[in-house]
Structure 1
Amino acid sequence: MDFNFENELKDKIALVTGGSKGAGKAIADRLLKAGATVIITARNKPEDENNGTHFIAADLSKPDGTQKVVNEILEKFGHLDILINNMGGSETPGGGFAVLSDSDWEGSFQTNLLAPVRLDRGFLPGMIERHEGVIIHIASIQAKLPLYDSTLPYAAAKAALANYSKSLSNEVAPKGVRVLTVSPGWIMTDASTRMMERIARSSGGTAEEAANSVMDALGGIPFGRAAWPEEVAELVGFLVSPRAAYLTGSEYVIDGGTIPTI
């Protein structure tokens, strides 16, 4: 896919967490094409180190990791205009509530809820001072369609993130900062493949059977396929642009029609 974004994000500084692969990489590339200065974070260096982004190695599931990112960006760039809280994921075993330990629950909430909360807290004061800024929280349709047998802590954390995002938007919208939630459904990424492999190992089946079971649990995807990362990135690119200047406090679902209710 190739679009002409006419440099609409020129002079904007953006951070995309988990921006080295999957949907995060697609979002970072989309913002770069729109003219933004883009910083990405991940635990490990991206395979493509020459794509024009600035990289900060950090484990955002730890408070020290988020503080490192905040400090480095403010020291080097002075401020942040756009924050995409994209990092997230599930590494807990399948098998329902009985196989989940406190550590499983705590790890999911650190990664999927508390990391965005800490980054927001680090960058919001500057946005409020300048009376401008955009924060996007990447949640998940699992906030509404939890998969109890495979990703229960992840789903609960994403539901908390969506609730927090709405509340935060009400607080900071009068101060010039827009806060939005994007909730994707199934996205065709390497992380999705790894999750299917973990479920398959837990269940004793194949990755294909695991994928079919997840699809069945979701009720199917009316569009007939998973989303491409670039499709999620295009929605995010619009939401952070001046064309979406009146949008705040809303959740945007991009799931191919998976959620069966309005």
Structure 2
Amino acid sequence: MTNADPDRLDGRRALVTGGTKGAGEAVAHRLRELGADVWVSARTMPAGYPHPDRFVAADTSTLAGAESVATRIADEGGGALDVLVHVVGGSSTPPGGFAAATEEHWLTELHLNLLGAVRLDRALLPAMVAAGSGVVVHVGSIQRQQPLHEATLPYAAAKAALRTYSKGLANELAPRGVRVNTVSPGGIQTLGYEQFVDRIAEGNGLTRDQARQTIFDSLGGVPLGRFATTQEIADLIGFLVSDRAGAIVGAEYVIDGGTVPTV
């Protein structure tokens, strides 16, 4: 499907996983602004959610959850999705380095940050391929290049695998009209991040600015002096799923304020 305005998504169906808070919420909002009919999946629907008819309650880190999302998308609306954005992810492994990460922690991180996307792609992408068009964005992390070993090594490893999977999928599907790319944020300014800043400040007798600097220092510095906003993440994804980015395939867009030192 092609729009006269290459920035617009009018008439397109989209699904955003993890789309009720943080970057996922911002992405869903941005795609709606661009004219898309946006579906959202998350484990629970927030109170007062404004689009209940476009919400799927599911844990996409499980096989049953991924299948329930795919079934709902197929049953209500029919046809292929035009846009699929995998935002859902995170880490729950406790601090303590590699020895603190149990078998359960590793499996939890792999299911949430890698296999959920793999399963949903397997269920939804055949229809895109049959239609000969579609766009997929996997949200990764700079930790695939710069892992923080103290607490998030399983998460970082899962995101590294997601990037490799995404690149291979892009090479396979581009000849069939489906574009696949990756967006890898560094830190993101969310409510959870602000609460984390508060905890660092209170626990160490620091001001909030000092606490932020402590976080930046742990990453080796953030040249921009701040993390990306959820809106900035959403704007980048909105561009990548539009016709304006029609020749971008298999790419990884890092949005981290310069955190990862590259040449």
> What TM-score do the two structures reach when normalised by structure 2?
0.90
1:70 aligns with 2:66: no
Q: Which residue of 1 aligns with 2:59?
A: 59
Deviations 1:109-162 (A, max 9, x none): 000000000011011110000100000000001110100012111111101101
3-state DSSP of counterpart to 2:228: coil
TM-fit CA distance, 1:226: 1.0
**Structure 1 residues 52 and 107: CA distance shift in structure 2, 3 A:** closer
Aligned residues: 254
CA distance in 2, matches of 1:210, 1:107: 29
5 Å-filtered alignment, 1:216-255, equals: 216-255=217-256
TM-fit CA distance, 1:53: 7.0
Q: Which residue of 2 aligns with 1:14?
A: 14
CA distance in 1, matches of 2:195, 2:118: 26
Residue identity over aligned pairs, in percent, reads: 49
CA distance in 2, matches of 1:157, 1:195: 23
Which stretch of the first structure deviates more once superposed, 46-55 or 181-190? 46-55
Q: Give the conservation status (yes or no) of the 8 Å contact 2:113–2:158.
A: yes
3-state DSSP of counterpart to 1:252: strand
Where structure 2 has 5 or more consecutive residues not aligned to the other structure, the ranges are none
The residue identity in structure 1 corresponding to 2:189 is: M
CA distance in 2, matches of 1:97, 1:196: 25
TM-fit CA distance, 1:194: 5.9
Q: Give the conservation status (yes or no) of the 8 Å contact 2:66–2:120.
A: yes
CA distance in 1, matches of 2:53, 2:89: 20
The residue identity in structure 2 corresponding to 1:247 is: I
CA distance in 2, matches of 1:6, 1:133: 14
3-state DSSP of counterpart to 2:188: coil
Q: Which residue of 1 aligns with 2:121?
A: 120
Q: Give the conservation status (yes or no) of the 8 Å contact 2:7–2:242.
A: no
3-state DSSP of counterpart to 1:91: coil
The residue identity in structure 2 corresponding to 1:118 is: R
Where structure 1 has 5 or more consecutive residues not aligned to the other structure, the ranges are none
1:100 aligns with 2:101: yes
Q: Give the conservation status (yes or no) of the 8 Å contact 1:9–1:31.
A: yes
Q: Which residue of 1 aligns with 2:163?
A: 162
